[in-house]
């Protein structure tokens, strides 16, 4: 295994980790990297804060099927006003 972790790799692992997709080994490498790299520490902190903010349960989206319904209604209206 490569011991030294480059910053861009560390960022990639950090991104993955936000979605809980990093492997155990990757997490170890990330944490070792964070010990000595201040820039990546900052990035990691911001990244996890962003995750926390976005995962807030009040943030909701419209589902794709509901969007389709809206699109259809809009399209019908468009057609009828054009004709």
Which residues contact other proteins by CB under 8 A? 11-12, 15-16, 18-19, 21, 46-47, 49-51, 53-56, 58-62, 66-67, 69-71, 73-75, 77-78, 81
Q: Which is nearer to other proteins, 25 or 46 (CB)?
A: 46
Q: How far is the CB of 80 from other proteins (least distance, A)?
A: 10
Q: How far is the CB of 18 from other proteins (least distance, A)?
A: 8
Q: Which is nearer to other proteins, 56 or 83 (CB)?
A: 56
C-alpha–C-alpha distance, residues 83 and 79, integer Å: 6
Q: How far is CA 74 from CA 66, 69, 78, 82, in A?
A: 13, 9, 6, 12
Place of tokens 């389709």: 68
Q: How far is the CB of 60 from other proteins (least distance, A)?
A: 6
For the CA atoms of 49, 51, 55, 56, the dihedral, rounded to the nearest 10 degrees, stands at 10
């Amino acid at each position: 295994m490569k011991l030294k972790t480059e910053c861009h790799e560390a960022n990639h692992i950090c991104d993955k980790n936000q979605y809980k997709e990093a492997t155990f080994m990757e997490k170890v490498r990330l944490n070792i990297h964070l010990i000595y790299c201040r820039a990546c520490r900052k990035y990691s902190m911001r990244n996890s804060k962003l995750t926390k903010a976005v995962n807030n349960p009040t943030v909701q989206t419209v589902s794709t099927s509901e969007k389709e319904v809206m699109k259809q209604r809009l399209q019908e209206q468009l057609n009828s006003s054009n004709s």
